[in-house]
Structure 1
Amino acid sequence: MAGTVIASMLLSACSNEAETTTTTQTAVNTEKQTSESNAQTASYAQNFNKDEVMSFSIDVDEDAWQEMLDTAAEENYIKANVTINGTTIENVGIRAKGNSSLRQVAGDDTTDRYSFKIKFDEYVKGQTWNGLDKMVVNNMISDASYMKEYLSYDIMSYIGVDAPLFAFANINVNGKTWGLYLAVEDIDSGYLDRAKNGEGEIYKPNNDGNMGAGGMGNPMGMGNPPAEGDAAGAGDRQPPEGMEPPSDTDNSTSNANSQTANTRGEGGRGFGRGGGMNGSTNGVSLVYTDDKVSSYSGIFDNAKTKTTEEDEKRVIEALKNLNAGTNLEKAVDVDAVLKYFAAHTVVVNMDSYTSNMGHNYYLYENNGQLSMLPWDYNMAFGGFMAGSASDVVNLAIDTPLSGVTMEERPILSKLLEVPEYKAKYHEYLQEIVDGYFADGKFEQTVQTLDKLITDYVKNDPTAFVTYDKYKAAVAELTKLGTLRAESIQGQLDGTIPATTEEQKSSPNTLIDSSSIDLTKLGDDLNKGKGMNGGGPWQGFERNSGNQETKKAEQSDTTK
């Protein structure tokens, strides 16, 4: 009996020792994997050095490359080897990307300068570039300065928004210079691991092609007529991403209509009142309608992470509380959203949530809290639906909208209804003005960027603009940014009204913007086709690209 007990004790001790060894080894392996993952993430992040120009080489079969360019609207991937800052990743996927920007290039037989999407695991499962699964390189269309998107993300990052990583990239294809682009980290699983510790869900709300209950409002007269003394307005600036023009559009009357037909929403710029293309349907406006998941297809059909019904219910519950103005700090990451809107308001990007468009943002949800992430800012600094230069410079900080009311944009309006949150929003605006613009800081930043990229622009073989027009745009952007900050400071001080309605009543208080010519920032980029040639709707037929490719990309993301 005693022998049996002793044997049992020995077996138990051996078993416990084995379990301890196994547990210890598992912990070591987990720690090692975590360490390796963090090292990879840090490695790709270090390669997005915004103070340098990335080296970006694409080696690809010439015939496959040409076929991709010839059929760019289909957005099909082809196989290529990509070398980034000296590191080669083989067998990656590359395709053209964009909506209206893609159509502009496709409609111009003088250029193949598309934006591109790089998917590192398209052909090799699990392959990444040091932890990053996707990235984009943007072609600077509609931006003669090459700087608008860079500066927008930089301002977002400055105030503490989790913006995607970005850096200029000099692209070569098969050993030949292709052009200077902006490389941007895709907001996907790699971003989620880097910026959010792999936690939460990401959606890209979008409802392209849906005109909303109220229609387009004033489709041909984008923006108000220039105020007296303004050098140039933007009434015929770029049409919305993916929007199809009315079949009975008469281009010959568009300029006349823009003088009379434009009605101003609470934001006061751009389109007239109405539901808008993405304004009020399927959840993209973040307006709560009911508890049905199907009512928010514009959000949930565009999930970037693998989501469940429980995830979707958390979003709906957050929207319900947000729209009711209850439990706001439970429903919204208030500080993150206030920082986002402070930076967004400074850079005046109306191809976004704050206009009838209602798109070009990511929705991040974690533990039932919502926040917004920035995306697609090449039309910032008045590049879209801007109206006059004065509209851009003096955009009201407390109603920074275009063609929609504050009620139609609840994640902004409900926060600004709370005095404490509104005061914090103003503090963030002041912080941006003081830290990024005041005392010549903005001018110095632009000069530094000009010094960094000027030789690349001068030698850019596919550039949309001449080098002289680039230099003129840089000078104009400097003036515009300086005056914009001056207006914001006046609105914060109370010498300039901070709402659109109050500004209408006191136009003499606004900053004089008669020296600004918005057209120098990118009004003639498409060389007479699409954006300005033959009327503002030419070349903008609806094209959704390869939907199978896009759906696959939306569903293949794992935590």
Structure 2
Amino acid sequence: MKTQSEIKPILYRKKSSAAALALSLILVASSLSGCAQASDDTTNTANTANSANEGETITEQPLNSAPEYAEKIFGTDIITLEILADEEDWQTMLDNATKEEYIKVDVVINGTTFKDVGIRPKGNSSLKQVASSDSDRYSFRIKFDKYVDGQTCFGLDQLVVNNMMGDNTYMKEYISCDLMKTIGVDAPYFGFTDISVNGQPWGLYLAVELYSDSYETRVFGDTSGALYNVKMSMGQDQMPGEGRGPMVNDPAMDERPSAGSGASESVPPATTPLDPPTSGFDEAPGSFPINTPGDLPGGKGGNMGARNGGSLAYTDDAPESYSDIFDNVVGEEDAEANQRVITALKALSTGTDLETYLDTDAILRYLAAHTVVVNLDSYSSTMAQNYYLYERGGEIAILPWDYNLAWGGFQSGDASAVINFPIDTPVSGVAMADRPLLNQLLSNQDYLAQYHDHLSTLIQNYFADGHFTTKIQALNTLISDYVKKDATAFCTYEENQTAVEAFIELGNLRAESIQGQLSGAIPSTTDGQKADPSSLISADDLNLHDLGSMMGERKN
């Protein structure tokens, strides 16, 4: 049986929504066949989709062009990762984790040894939080060619392993990535990995292919594009290292009011903040009611990312005005690529020639999955970060990244606000006008219809008829023994099982709300929901804290 990793992501280019929907149905069906497994008949299904939609151009590489690491790393249900390090070097790295300095180790992946590999801690707020706790459970970045020029792991040059902070389910990022893959986004490969260090158990993590040369070669056939890891920057609060932004839980944020009024009015489709909940929302640092702008650092409505390019708002032609993008380039800086990005943002600001400057189909697919999972440590909120921007030939696309705080894990109010997060004004803490990528696409009726098609596909094929429940239960069966014996877990096994049940309920209620919004039974904008709160799906007794907290302290 072929794995999910062996399905070459199809490069969609401006197809009709009907053709896109037909192919999406096939992709979704294959993703539901089990934990990280897919059909053997990938080539045939792709050809069937192509022949069923004559006149539509679908570019795909043959199945046998999949890189070796698709099978050798991500082709197993659980990746085994053994780290063999000098004990003193390892401890020194952990003791100085915030410096994010590489050390040389050997790694054994699914039984194959790779010598002299670079590894270092990684992260923003999670790095700071672990460093200030009694835990050493950092996320890590693994660079196979750090010390040996040209070395790869079965063709993969870089890998990250994420520590599950803030996610008692162990599944939020996995499911978010799977939704992206399902709807046809060129998402990175991902899979659960059981880590040991010098023969001692370390913990169950999520391994994710890093956006780098191997990814570009796999998806686009070459490395001619420009990749940017969009991260918020705030001057002296900028963290050291490659592509780093400030802590999410920045001390300055603790001084904000819990709610405020300060967002500008949007252009259609409009958004006006929901009234803040009267009680029960998370007052932890970095958390405030969904859809409620406040006077946060960065100006009106707390639009912190807008000043430096993360909002994708055009300001002028000076590259220094977009530091959140260009300061975080992956690889060598390309001044001409930077200018092409600025040209694309200028077109976006006016809504003209969008097909020329944006990969609209790919972006709409991304936005659909992104909206489903309510990830607010992202472009959708005041942060305006945690996505990759890819430029190639003057056209830009968005690539997904960092979903451990999805499903209401960041800046969220009560569970009802997450369940009913509006699909046509999917922003929080800012107005739609402050996020031109969303505003320009969703105010265009043709694009809005394509976006709705993608949402409908996800709901009908990933959630309906018990599919989501079955998916989560299957993943739980796969990983529960690993979670039970996780040596460095941030939660107990009992808390994990409670979180899994809460996740099933949250996912199904979220799907019910989206379906209602698509049909018109539930308002799909913030204004509409404010005017008719009785139509919203009730959260009943669902407690978002059961799924994990962004402050994620180790409990066992």
Instruction: Please state which band the TM-score falls in when normalised by the shorter chain.
Output: 0.7 to 0.9
TM-score by length of 2: 0.79
Number of residue pairs matched by the alignment: 465
Aligned to 2:292: 264
| C-alpha displacement of 1:523 | 2.6
Aligned to 1:206: 231
Aligned-partner Cα distance in 2 for 1:122–1:204: 20
Equivalent position to 2:286, from 239, 246, 250: 239
Matches within 5 A, 1:139-538: 139-198=163-222, 199-209=224-234, 219=256, 221=258, 227=277, 233-236=281-284, 239=286, 264-265=292-293, 274=300, 276=302, 278-523=304-549, 526-527=552-553
| C-alpha displacement of 1:483 | 0.1
Aligned to 2:32: none
Q: Is the 8 A contact 2:313 2:435 kept in 1?
A: yes
Aligned-partner Cα distance in 2 for 1:528–1:41: 39
| C-alpha displacement of 1:309 | 2.2
| Structure 2 counterpart SS, 1:280 | helix
Relative to structure 1, is the Cα distance of residues 528 and 159 closer, same or farther in structure 2, using a 3 angstrom cutoff? closer
Letter in 1 for 2:228: Y
Aligned-partner Cα distance in 1 for 2:470–2:380: 29
Q: Is the 8 A contact 1:159 1:339 kept in 2?
A: yes
Aligned-partner Cα distance in 2 for 1:118–1:528: 24
Q: Is the 8 A contact 1:137 1:184 kept in 2?
A: yes
| Structure 2 counterpart SS, 1:112 | coil
Aligned-partner Cα distance in 2 for 1:422–1:371: 17
Relative to structure 1, is the Cα distance of residues 158 and 218 closer, same or farther in structure 2, using a 3 angstrom cutoff? farther
Q: What per-residue deviation string (whole Å, max 9, x for no partner) do you get for residues 279-311 of structure 1?
A: 211211110011222222221121114342221
Aligned-partner Cα distance in 1 for 2:360–2:256: 34
Letter in 1 for 2:421: L
Larger gyration radius, structure 1 or structure 2: 1
| C-alpha displacement of 1:425 | 0.3
Equivalent position to 2:79, from 54, 68, 71: 54
Letter in 1 for 2:362: A
Letter in 2 for 1:279: G
Q: Is the 8 A contact 2:303 2:382 kept in 1?
A: yes
Relative to structure 1, is the Cα distance of residues 307 and 168 closer, same or farther in structure 2, using a 3 angstrom cutoff? same
Aligned-partner Cα distance in 1 for 2:380–2:489: 30
Relative to structure 1, is the Cα distance of residues 276 and 188 closer, same or farther in structure 2, using a 3 angstrom cutoff? farther
Aligned-partner Cα distance in 2 for 1:126–1:447: 41
Relative to structure 1, is the Cα distance of residues 270 and 348 closer, same or farther in structure 2, using a 3 angstrom cutoff? farther
Relative to structure 1, is the Cα distance of residues 162 and 57 closer, same or farther in structure 2, using a 3 angstrom cutoff? same
Equivalent position to 2:89, from 64, 68, 71: 64
Q: What per-residue deviation string (whole Å, max 9, x for no partner) do you get for residues 21-47 of structure 1?
A: xxxxxxxxxxxxxxxxx9896111223
Aligned CA RMSD, in angstroms, stands at 2.7
Letter in 1 for 2:339: K
Bigger relative contact order, structure 1 or 2 (CA pairs below 8 A, ≥6 apart): 1
Unaligned runs of 5+ in 2: 1-62, 238-245, 247-251, 261-273
TM-score by length of 1: 0.78
Q: Is the 8 A contact 1:264 1:272 kept in 2?
A: no
Q: Is the 8 A contact 1:264 1:270 kept in 2?
A: no
Aligned-partner Cα distance in 1 for 2:531–2:397: 34
Relative to structure 1, is the Cα distance of residues 50 and 523 closer, same or farther in structure 2, using a 3 angstrom cutoff? farther
Q: Is the 8 A contact 2:257 2:295 kept in 1?
A: no
Q: Is the 8 A contact 2:192 2:205 kept in 1?
A: yes
